[in-house]
């Protein structure tokens, strides 16, 4: 055995339950479930059944867990799958009537995809994704970690808001998995010196940062696919001479930090040479106006959408095998290089957004299974879980950083979002001002706990990201203002202690609307 690999998949969808269905809202969650979570978990269960070791590290945002756990979402998801299947069938009939057998074939392929996912979800998973996660964690195939309660961008939050996000991130995890989380995923790898103290206070043993936070140098600044790319100032960090091939203890603190390996991250993420841009893979951006299905392949990354050619699923699967083999080869070389540099058992940490596989990169789930298969059979590489790595012996000072463009906070704090941070901070103070007061009535307590939910929803990094990148901006701003208005109505009523019937009735309704964090 030569090199150890930690593969981290970070999963998050903002809270969209009962907050609009289509084109923005619940459909985001349903797509991620159908295209990523369900197929990925089914694959992991299969590998487990075959007696293979699949140790993956996965983080799930508490808001996502809550939604996956919701009866309403489960039912609506089944409806969504039925709708997609029948839409695909209707596409198939349409293309047959046009004697377009190629397109009809792809339509049929989608119809069976959604039928299979529905069967997997209803029968194999018994509609319970979380139970499957518990099972896989119990089998040692997964190490599930947590993150900020509503996926807030932590480095820019006020201290008390930051503490809430970490504390409730942990509490919710415990409620769902009945065990204490060991690791914490910093949303967007957003780190500043001091955050580790909040993590330590909550009993966390490790967290992850981007490469330049440890090694210094030029940040990768890779963003999720789909983001537009305005000019960003890229900060160059001083070279430290440290390496992500080993874990570190944060300087003078009792917590381990893992640095992302830039090489293997780029191999998958890069929009220029990453695998998902291969000509045979399905094109994400071109969508049938009839049905929303995607019938085309990338063809050539630089070609405009009207130049795309028809997708061929079988051909794409051949590429998956080649790319999985290539990736494992890259891991071997990287490990070999590290050994030559003097690391006896180098660590390679690969972190990705879970939704990259399947949702953005349609073939990604298959690719991941192939890679795991390769690693299972390899004598030079071993997939490991963070808790198996053992205590870090070296210390490191970690740079303030993120995995976003420019390497620091720019993506979430810029001229487009400055006003949002003012409101986020005002909202925090609004809540803190009342928090100290003893609420004698049950109504007062209910209002305060709802206020905390609204406060944390305002803090979701998603709204900032969408406004900053001009993606579904109106939806983001609408949600941002609505949660702020709810918070103000709650705090104002608590302040005046005017819990009239009108308010009671309303509170009941918004408790239903924003009903996550039942433990709160």
Partner 1 sequence: MVGGLGQHVFDLSRFMAAMGETVHIITPRMGNYPDYWIENGVHIHRVGCPAWEGEDFKSWTFTFNSEAIREAVRLNVLVGGFDVVHAHDWLVAYAGRSLAKIFEIPLVSTIHATEHGRNLGLHNRMQMEINEIEKNLALESELVICCSNYMQEEVHTLFGRPKEDIRVIPNGVDPDLFTALPDQPRFNISESDKVVFFIGRLVPEKGVWQLIQSFPQVLQQVPEAVLYIGGRGPQQPQLEKLVRDLGISDRVVFTGFITKEDRNYVYNQAKVAVFPSLYEPFGIVALEAMATHTPVIVGNAGGLAEIVEHRVNGLKVTPGNVDELAQAIIELLTDDDLANRLQETGYETVKSVYGWDVIAQSTLNVYREVIYRKKRLLVEA
- The residues that are catalytic are 188, 353
Q: Which of 481, 504, 512, 519 forms a contact with partner 1 (CB under 8 A)?
A: 481
Minimum CB distance to partner 1 smaller for 333 or for 502: 502
Q: Which of 477, 499, 511, 520 forms a contact with partner 1 (CB under 8 A)?
A: 477
22 is a contact residue toward partner 1 (CB under 8 A): no
Binding mask 410-449 for partner 1 (x = CB under 8 A): -----x--xxx-xx--x-----------------------
The Cα 509–Cα 331 span in angstroms is 52
478 is a contact residue toward partner 1 (CB under 8 A): yes
| Shortest distance in whole angstroms from residue 426 CB to partner 1 | 8
| Shortest distance in whole angstroms from residue 432 CB to partner 1 | 16
506 is a contact residue toward partner 1 (CB under 8 A): yes
For residue 359, count CB atoms less than 10 angstroms from its CB and return exposed for 0-12, middle for 13-18, buried for 19 or more. Answer: buried
Minimum CB distance to partner 1 smaller for 409 or for 489: 489
Q: Show Cβ contacts of residue 386 under 8 Å, excluding neighbours closer than 6 positions.
A: 6, 57, 143, 145, 182, 183, 206, 256, 258
| Shortest distance in whole angstroms from residue 513 CB to partner 1 | 10
Minimum CB distance to partner 1 smaller for 236 or for 470: 470
Q: Cα-flanking dihedrals φ and ψ of residue 117, to 5°?
A: -65, -40
Closest CA to 10 of 39, 31, 37, 42: 37
Minimum CB distance to partner 1 smaller for 22 or for 419: 419
Minimum CB distance to partner 1 smaller for 182 or for 493: 493
486 is a contact residue toward partner 1 (CB under 8 A): yes
Binding mask 106-145 for partner 1 (x = CB under 8 A): ----------------------------------------
Cα atoms in the 13 Å half-sphere on the side-chain side of 471: 14
The Cα 382–Cα 331 span in angstroms is 10
Characterise 151 by phi-psi region: left (phi > 0), alpha (psi -120 to 50), beta (else). Answer: left
Cα atoms in the 13 Å half-sphere on the side-chain side of 506: 13
Minimum CB distance to partner 1 smaller for 336 or for 414: 414
The Cα 395–Cα 467 span in angstroms is 38
Q: How many residues bind partner 1 (CB under 8 A)?
A: 25
Binding mask 148-167 for partner 1 (x = CB under 8 A): --------------------
497 is a contact residue toward partner 1 (CB under 8 A): no
- DSSP for residue 285: S
| Shortest distance in whole angstroms from residue 471 CB to partner 1 | 12
| Shortest distance in whole angstroms from residue 508 CB to partner 1 | 12
Q: Which of 23, 485, 504, 519 forms a contact with partner 1 (CB under 8 A)?
A: 485
The Cα 38–Cα 304 span in angstroms is 32
For residue 91, count CB atoms less than 10 angstroms from its CB and return exposed for 0-12, middle for 13-18, buried for 19 or more. Answer: buried
Q: Which two tokens stand for residue 19?
A: 């907050």
- H helices, E strands: number in the chain: 17, 10
| Residues binding partner 1 (CB under 8 A) | 415, 418-420, 422-423, 426, 470, 473-474, 477-478, 481-482, 484-486, 488-489, 492-493, 496, 498, 502, 506
């Amino acid at each position: 055995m030569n090199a150890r690999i930690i593969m981290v998949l970070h999963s998050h969808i903002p809270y969209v339950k009962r907050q609009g269905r289509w084109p923005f809202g619940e459909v985001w969650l349903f797509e991620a479930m159908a295209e990523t979570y369900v197929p990925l978990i089914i694959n992991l269960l299969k590998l487990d059944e075959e007696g293979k070791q699949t140790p993956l590290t996965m983080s799930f945002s508490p808001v996502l867990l809550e939604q996956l756990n919701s009866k309403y979402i489960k039912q609506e998801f089944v409806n969504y799958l039925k709708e997609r299947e029948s839409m695909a069938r209707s596409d198939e009939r349409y293309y047959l009537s046009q004697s377009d057998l190629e397109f009809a074939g792809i339509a049929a392929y989608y119809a069976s995809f959604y039928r299979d996912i529905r069967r997997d979800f209803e029968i194999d998973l018994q509609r319970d994704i979380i139970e499957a996660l518990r099972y896989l964690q119990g089998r040692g195939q997964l190490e599930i970690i947590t993150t900020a309660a509503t996926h807030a961008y932590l480095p820019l939050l006020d201290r008390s808001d930051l503490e809430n996000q970490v504390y409730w991130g942990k509490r919710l995890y415990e409620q769902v998995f009945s065990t204490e989380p060991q690791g914490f995923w910093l949303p967007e790898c957003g780190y500043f010196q001091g955050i580790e103290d909040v993590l330590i206070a909550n009993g966390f043993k490790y967290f992850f940062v981007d490469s330049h936070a440890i090694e210094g140098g030029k940040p990768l600044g890779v963003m999720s696919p789909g983001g537009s790319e305005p000019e960003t100032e890229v900060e160059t960090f001083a070279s430290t001479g440290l390496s992500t091939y080993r874990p570190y203890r944060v300087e003078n603190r009792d917590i381990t930090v893992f640095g992302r390996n830039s090489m293997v991250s780029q191999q998958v993420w890069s929009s220029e040479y990453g695998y998902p841009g291969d000509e045979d893979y399905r094109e994400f951006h071109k969508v049938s106006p009839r049905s929303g299905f995607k019938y085309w392949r990338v063809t050539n990354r630089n070609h405009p959408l009207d130049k795309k050619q028809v997708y061929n699923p079988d051909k794409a699967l051949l590429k998956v095998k080649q790319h999985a083999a290539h990736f494992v080869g890259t891991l071997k070389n990287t490990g070999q290089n590290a050994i030559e540099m003097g690391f006896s058992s180098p660590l390679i940490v690969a972190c990705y957004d879970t939704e990259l596989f399947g949702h953005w990169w349609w073939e990604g789930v298959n690719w991941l299974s192939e890679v795991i298969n390769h690693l299972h059979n390899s004598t030079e590489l071993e997939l490991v879980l963070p808790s198996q790595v053992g205590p870090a012996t070296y210390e490191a000072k970690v740079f303030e950083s993120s995995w976003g463009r420019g390497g620091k906070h720019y993506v979430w704090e810029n001229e487009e979002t400055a006003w949002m941070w003012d409101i986020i901070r005002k909202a925090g103070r609004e809540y803190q001002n009342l928090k100290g007061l003893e609420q004698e009535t049950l109504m007062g307590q209910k209002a305060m706990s709802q206020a905390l939910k609204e406060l944390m929803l305002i803090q979701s990094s998603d709204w900032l990201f969408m406004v900053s990148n001009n993606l579904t901006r109106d939806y983001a701003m609408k949600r941002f203002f609505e949660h702020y208005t709810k918070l103000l109505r709650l705090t104002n009523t608590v302040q005046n202690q005017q819990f009239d019937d009108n308010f009671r009735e309303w509170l009941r309704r918004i408790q239903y609307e924003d009903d996550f964090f039942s433990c709160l």
